[in-house]
Amino acid sequence: MPPRTIEWTGELDGCAKLIDQTKLPRELTFLEIRTSHEMFEAIRRLSVRGAPAIGIAGAMGAVLAIRDFTGSPDELRSEFKIACDHLVSARPTAVNLAWGLDRMRRVARQASTDIEAIKQALLAEAKAIRDEDEAMCRAIGAHGESLIKDGCGVLTHCNAGSLATARFGTALAPVYVAHNNGRPFRVYADETRPLLQGSRLTAWELGQAGIDVTVLCDNMAASLMKSGRIDIVITGADRIAANGDVANKIGTYGVALWAAAHQIPMYVAAPSSTFDFDLEDGRAIPIEHRSEDEIRRGFGSLTAPADVACYCPAFDVTPAGLIRGFITDRGRIDRPSREKIAALLT
Amino acid sequence: MPPRTIEWTGELDGCAKLIDQTKLPRELTFLEIRTSHEMFEAIRRLSVRGAPAIGIAGAMGAVLAIRDFTGSPDELRSEFKIACDHLVSARPTAVNLAWGLDRMRRVARQASTDIEAIKQALLAEAKAIRDEDEAMCRAIGAHGESLIKDGCGVLTHCNAGSLATARFGTALAPVYVAHNNGRPFRVYADETRPLLQGSRLTAWELGQAGIDVTVLCDNMAASLMKSGRIDIVITGADRIAANGDVANKIGTYGVALWAAAHQIPMYVAAPSSTFDFDLEDGRAIPIEHRSEDEIRRGFGSLTAPADVACYCPAFDVTPAGLIRGFITDRGRIDRPSREKIAALLT
């Protein structure tokens, strides 16, 4: 297994310990985060990334903000609120960061009038958020591992792996479970331009676990499928509409079209919390566009004319009809429909 | 128009002048090449690239090898043969380099017993190779330009442009002609990993010509097509089989699948010499695999674990059934078949 992405060492006098992902794939370095401000900086500079992992990091950062506090419970709650507001601003569009901090705020409101008890309750909640995420990933792995057959080729896109979660990941959880069960197979990792999460992170964490992994440029997967070396595609998801349309890292839709053209089943692995039943279908999902310099200066050097226009969406939407199945923590949904999704998850 | 990629200035006492493509897109620099050895180095370090442009460069390099020669015609022919053998070794797998030098060798054998006449005949042949290439590109442009409608979006992959030829290019020739005819449209250029010919070269040369160009990562074209902004795809080709199967830069097959899924016509522009009637279909086309470091070390920095395996084919094969038409110097072949191709080109 790859090392734990983020954990809390010890009790209230401990610290958060996380893999510095800005150093990957060159070196494995752990950061020991001892203040809320250090956690803010770690989140902002992407030392920790991936929706679930950021949620955990925010919760632990909130604990760090008040663990040395002395004063009245009301003063603590006031201090805690300021810290949470600050932490959430590190990645304002990261839904899980706000979600994790909301859980922490609820605990702060409900806890007793004893300062120490409040602090202990907050630490327990942060640890619970982390443990629940790991359990969720394990459940996805258990529900998906039988899809990975002896000797098969698995294509994945971006990094929905251990590094994006407490551990195990979502798309990669079935891969880790199948590997632990002794099954031989090979993973192909799209490098995933522009930010190269596939070549930098997915290839690194699978290599750490001793899993056979091969990196390819995003435009090479079609010919790889045609050559017969891919038996299944598994990706993660950022948001899933009620009808099964999936928003995920840019490029996922293209992979799904290629998989369909080669009759290769495409699965999407995600926790049940990723399904948004307020969204009828994928048309309503807003697509964030990112800095054009991610394309123009992708490798630290100028790789395009400095003033050329670039098209740089962060996500795309894959229609439900291209998805053979969902792998969730509550079970699998094969050949998904609005009704099947609602039946399992609502 | 972008500047001429390669030309000969003056007469026998002149020199070859070419754009140093290793400096693009950062700066436009011309190299004045005065010896055969300088041309060998320019070809080897990719200052000039693209099959037709390399063929021209080789022929001009051969002239430079003998223009100051004094001695008998037989001694000149012997010297010339050594120079050609050396030049071809600069890019041993470049078919056009060998082809251009073979034309020069034939002239050297046939020319008169007068040293000066031989030198003049060789210079004339090198200039003819260049001029024929430009005329071929112009013809492709004339046959394809009507496909580019007012306000349309054109997607291209890699660089089959002016920089790869004497001028105008193959895939981009219809684009230049339509632009010169005053038609407004937008080109979308896939960046084309791993070597980024799209973002470095296509975006640069279209920008030089004042053509509206937008760069995107290869994995973004599917969502761009879905958004309705692409009306036509035009790429070049490295080799075309008798049945119309096309070998071209890796990623072309994937683009063709996406175009088919969105009912967008896909055209391949190439000179008639690119059709290989000895090849029944695309299955027999050998696919070169390139250094894994092109993926692992994108432009000098480590973008994947240093020892990870990579899949790095240089080309893929697009089945004829995915191609709406060929644009050649002899005319267009819409909805191509083995019979239609043979009828126009043999």
Q: In angstroms, rounded to a whole number, what is the distance separating the alpha carbons of residues B150 and B178?
A: 9
Residue B191 near residue B198 (C-beta atoms within 8 A): yes
Chain A nearest CA to B307, separation (Å): 9
Q: In angstroms, rounded to a whole number, what is the distance separating the alpha carbons of residues A320 and A324?
A: 8
How many C-beta neighbours within 10 Å does residue B95 have?
16
**ipTM given for this complex:** 0.94
Q: Percent of chain B beyond pLDDT 70?
A: 100
Q: Percent of chain A beyond pLDDT 90?
A: 92
- Tokens 């307020």 correspond to A278
Query: Coil, strand or helix: which one is A277?
Result: coil
Among the listed residues A190, A231, A238, A316, the single catalytic one is A238
Residue A248's contacts (CB-CB under 8 Å, 6 or more residues apart) are A157, A158, A235, A236, A237, A238, A268, A315, A316, A318
- Asked if the Cβ–Cβ distance from B216 to A25 is below 8 Å, we say no
Query: Coil, strand or helix: which one is A247?
Result: strand
CA angle, A93 then A94 then A95, to 5°: 105
Residue A191 near residue A12 (C-beta atoms within 8 A): no
Tokens of A298: 């992708």
In the stretch 138-197 of chain A, residues with CB closer than 8 A to chain B read: 188, 190-194, 196
**Tens digit of pLDDT for each residue in B283-324?**
988 888 989 999 999 777 899 999 999 999 999 999 999 999
Q: Please list the residues that pair with A7 across neighbouring strands.
A: A17
pTM (2 d.p.)? 0.94
What pLDDT sits at residue B147?
Answer: 98
Residue B40 near residue B26 (C-beta atoms within 8 A): no
The whole-angstrom distance between residue B178's C-alpha and the CA centroid of its chain comes to: 20
Find the CB nearest B251 among A196, A204, A219. Answer: A219
- Asked if the Cβ–Cβ distance from B304 to A222 is below 8 Å, we say no
Lowest mean pLDDT among A94-108, A128-142, B242-256: A94-108
List of chain A residues whose C-beta atoms are within 8 Å of the C-beta of residue B216: 295, 310-312
What does B255-277 look like in DSSP terms, one character per residue? HHHHHHHTT--EEEE--GGGEET
What residue in A sits closest to B252 (Cα-Cα)?
Answer: A219
Among the listed residues B238, B245, B316, B329, the single catalytic one is B238
**Tens digit of pLDDT for each residue in A325-345?**
999 999 999 999 999 999 999
What pLDDT sits at residue B327?
Answer: 98
Find the CB nearest B301 among A221, A226, A299. Answer: A299
Confidence at A93, pLDDT banded by 50, 70, 90: confident
Q: In angstroms, rounded to a whole number, what is the distance separating the alpha carbons of residues B246 and A16?
A: 55
Of A267, A274, A271, A286, nearest to A240 (Cα)? A274
Q: In angstroms, rounded to a whole number, what is the distance separating the alpha carbons of residues B276 and B241?
A: 5
Strand extents, DSSP E, A41-146: none
Could you tell me if B301 lies within 8 Å of chain A, comparing CB atoms? yes
- pLDDT of B111 above 80: no
| φ/ψ (deg, to 5) at B70 | -125, 135
CA angle, A251 then A252 then A253, to 5°: 90
How many C-beta neighbours within 10 Å does residue B98 have?
17
What pLDDT sits at residue B96?
Answer: 87
Q: In angstroms, rounded to a whole number, what is the distance separating the alpha carbons of residues B43 and B130?
A: 16
Chain A nearest CA to B224, separation (Å): 9
A-B interface: how many C-beta pairs under 8 angstroms? Answer: 191
Q: In angstroms, rounded to a whole number, what is the distance separating the alpha carbons of residues B327 and B336?
A: 11
What residue in B sits closest to A312 (Cα-Cα)?
Answer: B216
- In whole angstroms, how far apart are CA B24 and each of A305, A312, B56, B195, B298? 8, 22, 20, 13, 16
Could you tell me if B57 lies within 8 Å of chain A, comparing CB atoms? no
- Would residue A335 be called left, alpha or beta, if left means φ above 0 and alpha means ψ between -120 and 50 degrees? left
